[in-house]
Amino acid sequence: MSQAKYKLIADYIRSQINKRKWLEGFKIPSEMELSELFCASRMTARKAVDLLVHEDLLKRAPSIGTFVNPPRAQSSLLEIKNIKDEIIERGHSHDMVVLSKMTLTPNTKVAFELSAFETKVFKIVILHLENDIPIQLEERYVNAELIPNFLEQDFSHITSSEYLMEVAPLSNAKVMIEAIIPSKILKHHLKLDDNTACLKITRTTFSENVPVSLGYLYYPADKYRVTSQLSVN
Amino acid sequence: MSQAKYKLIADYIRSQINKRKWLEGFKIPSEMELSELFCASRMTARKAVDLLVHEDLLKRAPSIGTFVNPPRAQSSLLEIKNIKDEIIERGHSHDMVVLSKMTLTPNTKVAFELSAFETKVFKIVILHLENDIPIQLEERYVNAELIPNFLEQDFSHITSSEYLMEVAPLSNAKVMIEAIIPSKILKHHLKLDDNTACLKITRTTFSENVPVSLGYLYYPADKYRVTSQLSVN
DNA sequence: AAGTGGTCTAGACCACTTG
DNA sequence: AAGTGGTCTAGACCACTTG
C-alpha cells in the first residue's frame, strides 16, 4: 500500500523528533526546504507540518520558523479515550501485562462508588506499556452482577475499556485528578525514582446512569500529563 | 480586521450548526458547492471543512459527503473558575500574599507560550490562602505590551484573573495538569511535608486568540484535586 | 533584500459509492 | 456517468522579522 506524500513527510519529521535528532525548541526545515527535500509542492509539505502542529508536536512562529514542542505524552480530559488508543495515535506500541485478577467483596469506598452493596465485584490490575515503558497502572473494579463475564476476558489483548464499551456502552463518567507520592509498589511497577511524583486519575463510568466500573489510573508524572482546551461560548 | 476566506466559510458552517439549521447527520454542501457559494477555490473550501473536522463538528465520508456530528461531550473542568471564587463558594476566607513582582525578559518557554519574542513580560508570584492555610501558589507571566498596567495593581485585593478579565476578556484557554515532587521553595510556601506531592496546573489564557497570560498554579496534593463530570451527548 | 509562515488559485488525477 | 472526498502541483501575493 502506498502512503500519501504528506504522510511520508510527517513521518520523517516525527521520526527525527522520536529519535531525538530534533530536540525541544529545534527549528525544523522551512516549508520550502521540506518541499525540495521530498520533491513535493510547498502545499504538500505544509500539510505535513499542519498535521504535526495539530498533534502538538510542532509550533509555528510566523516569519520565524516552525519549532519542536516539548515532548511528553498528553491526553485530553475531555475525550473519553483509553490509553491504548492514545498510544496508538502517537504511533507507538502498546502492550499490557495482567498483574492480577480476582473476585472480592468490595470495601466501603468501592461499594459506594459502584452502588455494589449487595454484590461482589471483580478487580483487575493491569500494567500498560508504551514502547515497553510503563505508562499506566490500571486498578479497576467492576460490578460483578452487571458484567458477569468480565474476568474471563483476555486482558492482554482487549483493554478493559474496549470490553466494557462493548457490553455496557458508556453514557457518562466522573473524573478526579490528584497528585500523589507513589507507594513502594507503584514505584516498582511504574519504575519511578524518588524524585518522581505520580498522577492519579479516578474514573467512575456509567452506563445509562448506572455505575459500571471504577478505575484508579496511575501515571508516572514525568511521562504523562493531562491537557485540555477550553473556550468561552 | 479582515478574515481569511476559509475562516468565513467555516464560520458560515458553524453558524448553520449552531442555529440548528443543520442538525446531527445532515449532509453539508460538497466542497465544490461550498467553493462556488463563496467564490473560492476548492482547496480553500476544503480548508474550512478541515478546520471543523478537527473540531469534531463535522465528519467526512469519502465518496459520499461530509456530515454534521453529534454534539460533543462536555466537562466542568471547562469552567474557568478562579481560586478565589472557589474558596468563597465553600464559605471560607480567601487571602492573598504578594511574594514578588517584576519585569523581565522571558525565557524560551514563556516567550513561546505568550508569543512574546519581542517584548518584556511581567511576573508575579502570589500565595493564596484558604482559611489562612496555603492552597495555591500562583506564578503568573503576562505580556507587558498587551497589559501595560498589570504590575501597578494591588494584588492583595484584586486577583490577577479578575484584573485580566476586566482588561482582556478571556476567549479560550489551554490547560495542562501534572503531578510533581515539590521543590524546596514550594514546600516552604505551601507548607508541605516530605510525603505530599504537588499538583501543577499550567494555564495559558487567550483573548481573541492572542495569548495574554501564562500561569503556573501549584496546589498541595493533600488539599486539592480536580474533578470533572463528562457525558456522551 | 531574503526568508518565513499564512492564504489562495485553478487546475489535475485518484478510488470509491451511487443512480 | 456523475458526484464525492483525498491528494497533489506550481505557481502567486501577503505581512512580518531578520541581517
From B180's Cα to the closest Cα of chain A, the distance in A is 5
Per-residue pLDDT, A81: 65
What is the pLDDT averaged over residues B23-28? 92
User: A105-119, B74-88, B133-147: which has the minimum mean pLDDT?
Assistant: B74-88
From B198's Cα to the closest Cα of chain A, the distance in A is 6
Rounded to two decimals, the pTM is: 0.68
Name the residue of chain B whose CA is nearest to A199's CA. Answer: B179
Domains of chain B as residue ranges with CATH: 5-68 (1.10.10.10), 75-231 (3.40.1410.10)
- B181-230 pLDDT tens trace: 999 999 999 999 988 999 999 989 888 778 899 999 999 988 887 776 66
User: Model confidence at A99, in pLDDT bands (50, 70, 90)?
Assistant: very high
- Sign of the CA dihedral running B155, B156, B159, B163: negative
What is the pLDDT averaged over residues B56-81? 73
Chain C bases closer than 7 angstroms to a protein Cβ = 3-12, 15-18
Q: Is the pLDDT of residue B110 over 70?
A: yes
User: Residue A176 is nearest to which of B80, B197, B226, comparing CB atoms?
Assistant: B226
Using alpha carbons, select from A17, A86, A96 the residue that is nearest to residue A57: A17
Residue B132 Ramachandran class (φ > 0 left, ψ -120 to 50 alpha, else beta): left
Chain D bases closer than 7 angstroms to a protein Cβ = 3-12, 15-18
B43 touches strand C (CB under 7 A): yes
Using alpha carbons, select from A77, A75, A76, A80 the residue that is nearest to residue A170: A80
- The C-alpha cell of A20 is what? 531525538
Q: Could you tell me how many CB contacts below 8 A there are between chain A and chain B?
A: 134
A62 touches strand C (CB under 7 A): yes
Per-residue pLDDT, B183: 94
User: Model confidence at A131, in pLDDT bands (50, 70, 90)?
Assistant: confident
Per-residue pLDDT, A233: 38
Q: Which one of A24, A201, A226 makes the best mutation probe of the B interface by having the most chain B beta carbons within 10 Å?
A: A226
What is the pLDDT averaged over residues B90-102? 89
Per-residue pLDDT, B72: 52
User: For B139, how many CA atoms within 13 A lie in the half-sphere containing its CB?
Assistant: 10
Using alpha carbons, select from B139, B221, B151, B137 the residue that is nearest to residue B179: B221
* Strands (E) located in chain B: 27-28, 58-61, 65-68, 74-75, 94-104, 121-130, 133-143, 172-180, 198-207, 210-220, 226-231
Per-residue pLDDT, A1: 38
Distance CA B31, CA A177 (A): 42
More confident residue, B19 or A6: A6
* Cα angle, residue B18 at apex, residues B79 and A52 outer, rounded to 5°: 65
Q: In chain B, what residues touch A171 (CB-CB under 8 Å)? A: 231-233
